[in-house]
Amino acid sequence: LKLIKLRWRLFYWTLIGKIKKLHTPFAIERDLNDKKKVLIFFPMNESAFKLSQYTFRKLGQKKINDYMFITKEEYRQKFQINVGKVLLINDAKSENMLSDEKLILNKLKDIEYDIIIDLNDEFHLGIGRLISQLPAKLKVGFAHKYSDRFYNLQLDFSKSEVLEKGFKQVDALLIS
């Protein structure tokens, strides 16, 4: 029943334009030094959040100029990255839209990010919907059943089943 509800929401939101389709082709450039704006959605799951904090602890040493991080409000005290700006969100169930989606869109609507990264290893419809409405050349996320709708670069760690490897792939993308 949950799967049917999820598929219906995806269909309905796509139909009314609340989830936009990816139309932009991209090429991964060898040098990301010219990239200036990166938006990163940190995981909603606490254990994945802690692992992501460890993996991205040296993010401030990268050559990218402008970071924006989105994380759950309850993780604010645990957030250890000291560069960029942090936007806090209230958690929503993974099959619903985010309760503060309009507020986030109002804050981010005039910014075009070069890269948007979703570090949630499990599908979160609210974050996917939000990402689909934000302009970016490159949208990165983990491969799952619906990821073709939201990301033009998908990371698949299903063979290794080690989330840290997926995070390290994203980190390598940022420093390549």
Kindly list the averaged pLDDT for each block of 10 residues, start to end, along the chain of length 176. Answer: 77 73 53 70 91 83 76 89 87 74 88 90 88 89 85 75 76 69
As a whole number of Å, the CA-based R_g of the chain is 15
What is the spatial distance between Cα 109 and Cα 101, in angstroms, rounded to a whole number? 11
What is the spatial distance between Cα 87 and Cα 105, in angstroms, rounded to a whole number? 11
* Confidence (pLDDT) at 43: 92
What is the spatial distance between Cα 68 and Cα 51, in angstroms, rounded to a whole number? 19
Residue closest to 32 by CA, chosen among 60, 63, 55: 63
* Confidence (pLDDT) at 118: 93
> Hunting for tokens 């409405």 — which residue is that?
133
What is the spatial distance between Cα 64 and Cα 156, in angstroms, rounded to a whole number? 25
* Confidence (pLDDT) at 30: 45
Measured in whole angstroms, the distance separating CA 119 from the mean position of its chain's CA atoms is 5
* Confidence (pLDDT) at 39: 93
* Confidence (pLDDT) at 11: 75
